[in-house]
Homo-oligomer: A and B are copies of this chain.
Amino acid sequence: MVRYAAKVDLNKDAAEQPVLHNRWHPDVPFCGKIKDGETVKIECVDWTGGQIQNNDSADDVKNVDLTKIHYLTGPFEIEGAEPGDVLLVEIADVQPLEEQPWGFTGVFDKGNGGGFLDELYPKAAKAIWDFEGIFCSSRHIPGVKFAGLIHPGILGCAPSAEVLAEWNRREGELITAMDGCGRIVAQPPNPQNVTAGSATADIKEKVAREGARTIPGRPEHGGNCDIKNLSRGSKVYLPVHVKGAGFSVGDLHFSQGDGEISFCGAIEMPGVITIKFSLLKSSTDPNSLQIKSPIYRPGPVEPQFGPGRYIYFEGFSVDEHGKQHYLDATVAYRQTCLRVIEYLRRYGYSDYQIYLLLSCAPVQGHLAGVVDIPNACTTLGLPMDIFDFDISPEKPAVKRDMGTCAFTSDH
């Protein structure tokens, strides 16, 4: 029987649980030990540590405290791991916790977190999703139901002191360089609400001062990569930077679309992940496996719809004000998303409902062409079979009463 390497308690403050931490730092103490070759279960709280409720108001989303996130379970010592090794992490399963068979998707307020389309959709919004086996559906977005591509948003090994210093240097330089641009462009270390597992006060203070925020994924270790396909059966190859690896995982998603566009865009949930750990030891062979960033192989059980069951939308790097950008795939993907919103509006959905849906449904976001100056072209594939009505372009669109997603009380 697979043992639990860590359990969480949903009725207890996340900040009080010694298996959780919310900053990346080499000095966060190990919360447990795992053998090379061992398979264990690891429980995780949701990324906000329980700040969001199963109700019909987005007040909690609007007022979410972002200094607290993400709560990760770990770090775990992997026996025998040394810097330079590759840690092979095979995700044998991910499941919601039996006591919380629901999750949430949020659009963050432009003033508190924001998101990919916050220029157009600045208000907080929320959808609650109910789970029934492999499926989810939402009272806030009627007419859709789909099988989750369940996965962890965050997994990775602890940074070394050098890696951490590099992160703080380069993100600091960006903050400085873009000062005054009117947006928060990166989050520097922030002592507020730091959780560092079972750290002593001294260590905790150090983590608070230096620890990297968990929001961005980073090339050296992956972290918050938010790759929807790291689902059941995936094998992830992670660079090891410290002795014992210091593996952490969290931010479980019942489902997510490519881009996770609304920021809190996946279907966020607490849950349990079953992982097999194996070490690929570093070698002096110049042909040996050396990876600067994680790589992975997806598992065999991804929901599959058949290629012809997607409608793909094209977007180009010309923004909604008619301004031409130079090979900017980010701008192109934003346009692609807007094209989907325009399309689905015809069925009675509000823009916010679609924005939420695109964030969490298993949509395929592709970089189609990135060299045809000056336009990058991206595409977004929307699976038709998540809808309980026919959304074929040839079929007439009938506007339905689609209710509303959750908004704030002052909406």
Tell me, yes or no, whether A164 is within 8 Å of chain B by CB: no
- Nearest-neighbor residue (CB-CB) of A41 within chain B: B133
Do the beta carbons of A147 and B300 come within 8 Å of each other?
A: yes
Question: How long is the Cα–Cα vector from A147 to B289 in the complex, in angstroms?
Answer: 27
Please tell me which one of the listed residues B134, B224, B378 contacts residue A233 in the complex, with CB atoms under 8 A apart.
B134
- The answer to whether A374 touches B265 (Cβ under 8 A) is no
Contact check, B132 vs A216: say whether CB atoms are below 8 A apart.
Answer: no
Give A281 Cβ to nearest chain B Cβ, in Å: 12
Per the bound structure, the CA–CA distance linking A374 and B173 in Å amounts to 12
Contacts known (A306-B385, A316-B218); A372 close to B133, Cβ less than 8 A: no
Q: Is the CB of A329 within 8 A of B373?
A: no
Chain A binding surface, main DSSP class: loop
Within residues 309 to 339 of chain A, which ones have a CB less than 8 A from any CB in chain B?
309-316, 318, 322-330, 333, 335, 339
- Chain B residues positioned under 8 Å from A304 (CB to CB): 300-302, 304, 306-307
Give the docked Cα–Cα distance between A378 and B399 (Å).
35
Taken together as a complex, chains A and B put the C-alpha atoms of A88 and B392 apart, in Å, by: 12
Which of A10-18, A24-32, A360-368 touches B? A360-368
- Residue numbers in B under 8 Å from A178 (CB-CB): 326
| CB of A371 closer than 8 Å to a CB of B | yes
How far apart are the CA atoms of A217 and B324 in the complex, in Å? 12
| A227–B314 CB distance below 8 A | yes
Q: Is A262 an interface residue (CB 8 A)?
A: yes
Structural contact, B263 and A371, CB atoms closer than 8 A: yes
Inter-chain contacts of A300 with B (CB < 8 A): 147, 303-308, 385
**Of B133, B259, B324, B396, which one neighbours A371 at CB under 8 angstroms?**
B259
Minimum Cβ distance to chain B for residue A306 (Å): 3
Q: CB within 8 A of A218: which of B133, B216, B375?
A: B375
The verdict on A36 contacting chain B, using a C-beta distance below 8 Å, is no
Please count how many residues in chain A sit with their CB below 8 Å of the partner chain's CB atoms.
122
B308 x A297 contact (CB < 8 A): yes
| Interface residue A65 (Cβ < 8 Å from any Cβ of B) | no
* Stretch in A180-188, A201-209, A240-248 with 4+ CB within 8 Å of B: A180-188
Q: Is A250 an interface residue (CB 8 A)?
A: no
| Residue on B nearest A91 in the bound complex, by CB | B133
- With A92-B132, A307-B302 known as contacts, the answer to whether A318 contacts B218 (CB < 8 A) is yes
Determine how close the nearest CB of chain B comes to the CB of A337; give it in whole angstroms.
10
Q: A120 interface residue, CB < 8 Å from B?
A: no
Question: In the complex, which residues of chain B have a beta carbon less than 8 angstroms from the beta carbon of A233?
Answer: 133-135, 147, 308
Q: Which one of B225, B280, B318 contacts A219 once the chains associate, using CB atoms below 8 Å? A: B318
Within residues 229 to 276 of chain A, which ones have a CB less than 8 A from any CB in chain B?
229, 232-233, 237, 258-263, 265, 274, 276
Q: Is the CB–CB distance between B373 and A288 below 8 Å?
A: no
Q: Say yes or no: is A101 at the interface (Cβ < 8 Å to chain B).
A: yes
A296 within 8 A of partner (CB): yes
Is there contact, CB below 8 Å, between A294 and B314?
A: yes
Binding site for B on A (CB under 8 A): 1-2, 39, 86, 88, 91-93, 101, 115-116, 132-135, 147, 166, 170-171, 173-174, 178, 184-187, 215-219, 222, 224-229, 232-233, 237, 258-263, 265, 274, 276, 280, 285, 287-316, 318, 322-330, 333, 335, 339, 342-343, 346, 364-379, 385, 390, 393-394, 396-399
Query: Given A365-B366, A367-B378, 6 more contacts at CB 8 Å?
Result: A91-B133, A291-B343, A299-B308, A300-B307, A309-B309, A390-B390
3 tightest A-B CB contacts, nearest first: A92-B133, A93-B133, A306-B306
29 A–B contact pairs at CB < 8 A? A91-B133, A93-B133, A133-B232, A174-B325, A186-B374, A217-B372, A225-B314, A226-B372, A233-B308, A259-B367, A260-B372, A261-B371, A262-B371, A280-B393, A287-B398, A288-B346, A288-B397, A289-B346, A295-B312, A295-B343, A297-B312, A298-B307, A298-B312, A299-B307, A302-B304, A302-B307, A305-B306, A305-B309, A330-B370
